[in-house]
Amino acid sequence: MKEECVKVKNMKITNIPIDICRSEEKIDALLKKGFVVNHSIETVNPDGGTKTVIKTYSPKTFQEAWEEHKKLRGPGIPF
């Protein structure tokens, strides 16, 4: 199992310790500071394939984030 946690602000990505992603209070503190937190867990299936679960915590609503994404990347690029 591979686990990774990053925080993103102003298009700068920074790795953070896994214990922060496992703590709701620490995630809330980062969200209040304007960070987006991504927590990804990659596991290996018994058949040899891999499965990745990505959790994203954002201080913005989906609609706010989508509007910002469209301005930066254009409406045709998936969110």
* pLDDT tens digits, one per residue of 65-74: 778 878 888 8
- Please report whether residue 11 resides in a domain: yes
Predicted confidence (pLDDT) at residue 79 exceeds the cutoff of 70: no
Domain extent at residue 25: 2-73
- Please report whether residue 79 resides in a domain: no
**Reduced DSSP (H G I as helix, E B as strand, rest coil) percent helix, strand, coil of the chain, to 5:** 30, 35, 30
* pLDDT tens digits, one per residue of 30-61: 998 989 999 999 999 888 889 999 998 988 77
Domains in the chain: how many in total? 1
- Please report whether residue 78 resides in a domain: no
20 pLDDT tier (thresholds 50, 70, 90): very high
Q: What is the pLDDT of residue 30?
A: 92
3-state secondary structure of 52: strand
- Please report whether residue 41 resides in a domain: yes
Q: What is the pLDDT of residue 72?
A: 83
